[in-house]
Amino acid sequence: MPLDELLQQVGLARSTFYHRRSKWNAPDPKADVKAAVRAAVDEHACYGYRRITALLKRRGLTINHKRVQRTMQELGLQVLRRTGKFRSYRGPGHVAVPNLVKRCFRAPKPNQRWVTDVTEFAVDGEKCYLSPIMDLYNGEIVAFQIERRPTLSLVQKMVRKALKKLGKADAPLLHSDQGWHYQHAAYRRLLSQKGLTQSMSAKGDCLDNAAMESFFGLLKTEFFHRTRFDNIAQVQAGIRRYIRYYNHERIKLKLNGLSPVEYRIQAAA
């Protein structure tokens, strides 16, 4: 059938047909942007469109966050979401320690306000426990300890690691929930001997330690729940890798698009 007759049957103008045909084999003008966005999401599956935008700008690509959002939608790229699930100690209190943080999860300088907690990981009947300390200045994990049992030594070793990071004039406040580790006389004595001020959340109130709970949510959403493990040793190795990634590479918008370590180093410079 002649082309003019076919176009007449489908109600399409000859000029429109040739205009559309010229686009069939034309290169996609958005190909470079799509490739950059896809690569960034593949590298950081937890990033939303705003942090993807910040990351691409750091890599020299001038782009608007709305365009990044549209591109992610076009490519069907989904961002991992955290679940709002908190667990906290709800047992009886044995010591009277005031809440000195009062949900103010900020600090003007490094090593002024620290927070800590313990979380559990389970794989095929095996468990391990992570005890980290976070600096509220930049969200950096300054020290952590992983063990198979939630013993007192778990938090004591963590504190001793963190103490090595302090200068002579540093004497941070260390905030926790009312877990038995933090009420233990040996733990409290260690803090007192090293000049650290202890602070505790109200009984059973996870929001009083929301900064640490938020980190645990990130860790489990971005690492633990999206990976298959054969044994608990793989979990322990993965936690160490994730904390290094979190400290050195994972950017935060509230830190001007820098990672915690980058922010601390830039501020010191």
Rounded mean pLDDT, 1-30: 67
Same domain, 192 and 249: yes
Same domain, 159 and 31: no
- For the stretch 205-228, pLDDT in tens is 788 999 999 999 999 999 998 888
Q: What is the mean pLDDT of the chain?
A: 86
pLDDT at 184: 94
Range in 38-47, 79-88, 175-184, 229-238 with the lowest mean pLDDT: 79-88
The identity of residue 151, as a single letter, is T
User: Of 54, 75, 96, which closes a domain?
Assistant: 75
Rounded mean pLDDT, 8-33: 67
pLDDT at 235 over 50: yes
Confidence grade of residue 112 (pLDDT, cut at 50, 70, 90): very high
Confidence grade of residue 143 (pLDDT, cut at 50, 70, 90): very high
- For the stretch 172-213, pLDDT in tens is 999 999 999 999 999 999 999 999 999 999 887 788 999 999
98 domain residue, yes or no: no
94 domain residue, yes or no: no
Number of alpha carbons in the 13 Å side-chain half-sphere of residue 221: 17
pLDDT at 57 over 60: yes
User: Of 20, 53, 75, which closes a domain?
Assistant: 75
238 domain residue, yes or no: yes
Using CA atoms in the order 142, 208, 109, 54, what is the torsion angle rounded to 10 degrees? 80
More confident residue, 13 or 207: 207
Confidence grade of residue 90 (pLDDT, cut at 50, 70, 90): very low
CATH of the domain at 204: 3.30.420.10
What is the C-alpha to C-alpha distance for residues 147 and 151, in angstroms, rounded to an integer?
8
96 domain residue, yes or no: no
pLDDT at 179: 92
- Please work out, in degrees rounded to the nearest 5, the angle formed at the alpha carbon of residue 165 by the alpha carbons of 89 and 213: 25
Confidence grade of residue 59 (pLDDT, cut at 50, 70, 90): confident
Same domain, 71 and 184: no
Same domain, 11 and 132: no
Same domain, 167 and 244: yes
More confident residue, 41 or 209: 209
Same domain, 39 and 167: no
Smallest CA-to-CA distance from 154 within 109, 120, 193 is with: 120
pLDDT at 86: 38
134 domain residue, yes or no: yes
Parallel, antiparallel, or unpaired: how do β-strands 173-176 and 197-200 relate? parallel
163 domain residue, yes or no: yes
pLDDT at 80 over 60: no
Determine the structural domain holding residue 233 and report its residue range. Answer: 113-268
Same domain, 235 and 172: yes
104 domain residue, yes or no: no
pLDDT at 3 over 70: no
pLDDT at 93 over 90: no
Confidence grade of residue 248 (pLDDT, cut at 50, 70, 90): very high
Per the structure, how many domains does the chain have?
Answer: 2
Query: Which helix (DSSP H) or strand (DSSP E) does residue 167 occupy?
Result: none
Same domain, 186 and 71: no
What is the C-alpha to C-alpha distance for residues 224 and 218, in angstroms, rounded to an integer?
9
pLDDT at 87 over 70: no
Same domain, 67 and 130: no
Same domain, 71 and 134: no
pTM beyond 0.75: no
pLDDT at 85 over 70: no
Same domain, 119 and 239: yes
Same domain, 119 and 71: no
176 domain residue, yes or no: yes
User: Of 75, 97, 125, which closes a domain?
Assistant: 75
